[in-house]
A and B are shown apart, each in its own frame.
Chain A
Amino acid sequence: MEITVDHIRNKLTTEIGAVHVEVEDTSPNRCAASFKVLVVSPQFEGKPLLQRHRMVNTCLAEELKEIHAFEQKTLTPEQWEKQRAP
């Protein structure tokens, strides 16, 4: 399995209903060793941070075995709107 930015985005979109995903390969040579993701999903509504992160971890469990470092930010659509507002 090749881990790419698109692969991660697709999986998060299909499996936890993400309406917006930003994925960045943060490894020095873009070698898919570390990623940073922003996930916006209505499924996060009413869930504490830890639970949201666990949802993402579960969704990407297979990939995380290969990924060395993983940063994530999990927002509801409402939080995402607020954050984008100037």
Chain B
Amino acid sequence: MNTLVRSAVRCLRAGTVCRTGSINGQVLYGSARLLCAAAGQTDFADMVKKDKVVVFMKGTPSQPMCGFSNAVVQILRMHGVDEYAAYNVLEDQDLRQGVKAFSNWPTIPQVFFNGEFVGGCDILLQMHQNGDLVEELKKLGIRSALLDAEKDKN
């Protein structure tokens, strides 16, 4: 019983998923909280596969708490990627340390596409600059909004 309560409490803290790009910009809280509570422990492999684009960040997309996390949010926004799962690591130390161990990457933010680790802020920025991001998004079935923006200019 005790364990159950503890894991439930822990997961209430851990379950800080917010889905962006939902109705009228309203932040919806996803189902990860329930899944996590059932599992009792954070299953990162599962978490990163559940959504095409997953971001572990400091703060939330509407209120990033760190410049690097903000940069990731802004880059995704530029490409019209509004629907992604964002996990706020500031709300849970286990989540913060756990994701670093899972991806073997020392810093936050961290971006995953289709369950695969893409990189942090520097890598996403460079992929944005060299055009790779448009291609990677295409592989996910997401058409970058920048392509349309270019068309409008022509």
Contacts and interface: CB of A to CB of B under 8 A. Distances in A.
A3 to B, nearest CB: 14
A72 B122 contact: yes
A10 interface: no
Contact of B106 (A50, A57, A71, A73): A57
Given A49-B119, A50-B118, A53-B119, A70 B126 contact: no
- Determine the main DSSP class of B at the interface with A: mixed
A54 B106 CA distance: 9
Interface residues of B, number: 15
A49 B126 contact: yes
A50 B122 contact: no
Contacts of A31: none
Interface residues of A, number: 13
B97 to A, nearest CB: 11
Contact of B68 (A49, A54, A69): A69
B29 interface: no
B123 A54 contact: no
Interface string A62-84: 00110001111100000000000
Contacts of A71: 68, 121-122
A19 interface: no
B24 interface: no
B102 interface: no
Interface of B: 66, 68, 104-107, 117-123, 126-127
Interface of A: 49-50, 53-54, 57, 61, 64-65, 69-73
A-B interface, 5 closest residue pairs, ranked by CB to CB distance from nearest: A64-B106, A50-B119, A49-B123, A57-B106, A72-B122
